[in-house]
Amino acid sequence: MTVIFQAGPGGGTEPNQAMTQPTMAEVAKATGVSKNTVSLALRGSPRVSEETRRRIAKTAQAMGYRLNPTVAHLMAQLRQNRSPGFHATLAMINAHEAADAFTAHPTIPRYVHGCRERARQLGYQLDEFWLHEPEMPLGRWQSIFRARNIRGIVILGLMQHNRLPARLSPLWDEFPSVVTGARTRDPALSFACSDQHALALEAFEKAIELGYRRPALLLDGVIDALIEGRFTAGFLTGQSRLLPAAQRTQPFYEVAAARNDRAVFAEW
């Protein structure tokens, strides 16, 4: 039994038997299950059958057992924030031409942060590499990965093209690999990226909703080509659905040139 102590007349503590209540262990013993099962059942977990949940709840009520709301809240937080044990080491490869893209690029650091955070939550360690490291032949990559017992590869930072060096093809064959941010064609690896078509379409629809009459798309053509025109496709879909032909505009792709010569943009 759990005994709750209250302050006595002299400022000390003494047991108040009227405030005793059964423990979870006693409820478990009375119902013939484990303490963990009692805990799950009283929290309504689907991991315990409905029949067992009802039986445990009925027994707990008859015995006068009550969950301590403060302890229950604390345990819920602990379960939510519990860090998993170490699972494996993964390689996180910077495929951008700049060696410092993981920290200095306008957008790539967001992908890096997301990968690191998710890896931490799932118990993975990420070792960072630069794809264009000089004097790194295939054999060197393989020996490093094997020595570190790396179990998979995450590739980030493709911004100029969607191809990886052909000389490293055996690396992608030996280690499970995934690309994030852009889809590769050579080789065709698994990939995870945002839905650029849906993003562009939703942005266009929102602009119309806000009262803009001729929303336009300004986008670096290299980026749109890298993602196979999905930003353009979403934008054009929005135009075809919501604007008459006379009000539609062509996307502007010469962003890099316009930075150096405003006349390029003015002509558009």
Q: Give the chain's largest Cα–Cα span.
A: 90
Show the tokens assigned to 24.
């979870």
Q: What is the DSSP string of 41-103?
A: HHTT-TTS-HHHHHHHHHHHHHHT----HHHHHHHHHHHHHPPPPP-EEEEEEE-SSSTTHHH
Cβ neighbors of 72 (< 8 A, separation 6 or more) are: 43
> What pTM did the predictor assign?
0.60
φ and ψ at residue 223, rounded to 5 degrees: -65, -45
Integer Cα distance of 164 and 153 in angstroms: 13
**Domains of the chain (ranges plus CATH)?**
24-71 (1.10.260.40), 88-192 (3.40.50.2300), 196-267 (no CATH)
pLDDT string in tens for the chain (268-residue length)? 333 333 344 444 444 444 466 888 888 899 988 888 888 888 888 888 888 888 988 898 888 887 655 456 555 655 565 556 788 999 999 999 999 999 999 889 999 999 999 898 888 999 999 999 998 999 999 999 999 999 999 999 987 778 899 999 999 999 999 998 888 878 888 888 888 899 999 999 999 999 999 999 999 988 888 888 999 999 999 999 999 999 999 999 998 899 899 999 999 9
- To the nearest 5 percent, what fractions of the chain are helix, strand and coil? 50, 15, 35
Nearest CA to 252 out of 213, 212, 224, 211 is that of 224
Cβ neighbors of 144 (< 8 A, separation 6 or more) are: 150
